[in-house]
Structure 1
Amino acid sequence: MPQNQILIKEEMRILGAIQIMNGLIIQFLGTIWGYLLISQTTALLSVYIPIVTLVGYPFWSTLTFIFSGAFTVVMQKRPSLYTISYAILGNIISSCIAVLGLLLLIFELSVATFLVETSIWQMRSAKMLSGYLFLFTALELFVASVATHWAYQAKKSNLNT
């Protein structure tokens, strides 16, 4: 085996594709959340404050998730120390954004659970959308962490040889 070849796991391309699709799903959930917020303003704002949507988390986080997934795919296709470094940096930023989103969603869901007594369909829809955002954000955190770990291992093994 040549000395300058970098060994990267085959699954990295799949992780990158998962990150890209996950970013698109979060974008679409944010769009649905925004539509619900605009169309049902009188019913929602009096009892449910959508912190995550008002901050714009589904829209700006999507960019980091898609870019980190793209860097991960590029790292798998054209492995070099630069692409590995970009993939590691992109996935670390993506993980930080996902943690921030999880904290915002936990706060939003806890406020909605403890302060809201009414159970109208708009409220159930809002909680459901926030719950889906929570699940997909947790998935992004997990995938970005695994991709960062594998990329760091590949970079470390290449530097040691």
Structure 2
Amino acid sequence: MAVTVSSDLSVNVSEDQVVKKLTDKQEVLKESLRKGEPKAMGICQVMVGFMVISYSIPLLSAEFTQLVWFGVPWWSGLTFVAAGTMALVMEKRNSIQLVLACLLITIVAAFISVLALVFYFVDLLKNPEHKCMENQTNLPENTCEQLYHGSVFSKDMKSILMCLTVVQTGISSAFSYMLYSERKRFIRYSLVN
């Protein structure tokens, strides 16, 4: 609020221009982010993250491979959940700092999902299905079938996790692009005002 007193002792109360510009900037940021629906993107990221984590639990009962030893499904899933949570927080409280933080963590989630895709692909190539041979007499009864079904189960679960990670890569990349373009537009708007 700006208060001015004229020579005839009348008092005029007017709106402060700095406060008005700040309010305008926050409203522009809020409206531009609502167009991008960060809440929907955040919920998708959180859901995919929890799906990756929950679908990777059965891998603990199968043969341990490098994928399980490195914990790829768990750290990639947690990164997706963190990126989605940041998007949900950003939707509630609009500020340029939260947009930048959300942009950073979403880019990290996209990078980690690409890295996880490489791990899944290499693991699927290095660990094919165990074929049962008729001349394997040194194994106990039904062991060969158990190994075969266990390796098929492991391969199928890793394929599902790989598909979910491809979805997460797409979501993170698209959301990163949206946040980056909003950040550029908001900075241009603040320079004009």
Query: TM > 0.5 between the two?
Result: yes
- Structure 1 distance, partners of 2:49, 2:108, is 14
Does 2:89 correspond to 1:74?
yes
Q: Comparing both chains, which one has the higher relative contact order based on Cα–Cα distances under 8 Å and sequence gaps of 6 or more?
A: 1
* 2:150 maps to which of 109, 119, 122: 122
Residues 13-53 of structure 1: per-residue CA shift (max 9 Å, x gap): 1111010011101111121111x23xxxxxx4xxxx62211
| 1:120-143 deviation per Cα after TM superposition (whole angstroms, max 9, x unaligned) | 211110111000110111111110
Query: What displacement does 1:80 show?
Result: 1.0
Contact 2:26 2:94 survives alignment (8 Å):
no
Counterpart for residue 24 of structure 2: 2
1:106 correspondence with 2:106: no
**Aligned partners of 2:38 and 2:88 also within 8 Å:** yes
**Which residue does the alignment assign to 1:93?**
108
Aligned partners of 2:89 and 2:36: how far apart in 1? Answer: 12
Select between 14-23 and 58-67 the one with higher mean Cα deviation: 58-67
Alignment of 1:56-67 (within 5 A): 56-67=71-82
Residue 184 (structure 2) pairs with residue 156 (structure 1) = yes
The amino acid across from 2:164 in the alignment is F
Residue among 174, 180, 183 paired with 1:146:
174
Q: Secondary structure at the match of 1:128?
A: helix
Please identify runs of 4+ aligned residues in structure 1 that moved more than 4 A.
Answer: none
Higher strand share: 2
User: Cα RMSD between the aligned structures?
Assistant: 1.9
User: Which entry has the higher C-alpha Rg, 1 or 2?
Assistant: 2
In structure 1, give the amino acid aligned to 2:52: I
| Counterpart residue number, 1:22 | 48
- Asked whether the 8 Å contact 1:52–1:101 carries over to 2, the reply is no
Which deviations, in whole Å up to 9, do the C-alpha atoms of 1:62-92 show, x marking residues without a partner? 2211110011122222221111011101111
Alpha-carbon distance in structure 2 between the residues aligned to 1:85 and 1:70: 14
* Structure 2 residues not aligned, in runs of 5+: 1-22, 133-144
Within-5 A mapping of 1:42-53:
44=63, 50-53=65-68
> Aligned partners of 2:153 and 2:26: how far apart in 1?
53
Deviation, 1:153, is 1.1
Aligned partner of residue 150 in structure 2, secondary structure:
helix
Q: CA deviation at 1:2?
A: 2.4
If the length of structure 1 is used for normalisation, what is the TM-score? Answer: 0.84
Provide Cα deviations, 1:80-124, integer angstroms capped at 9, x if missing partner.
Answer: 1111011101111111111111001010112234x7444721111
Q: Which residue of 1 aligns with 2:160?
A: 132
2:107 touches 2:176 (CA, 8 Å); kept in 1? yes
| Matched residues, number | 149
1:79 counterpart SS class: coil
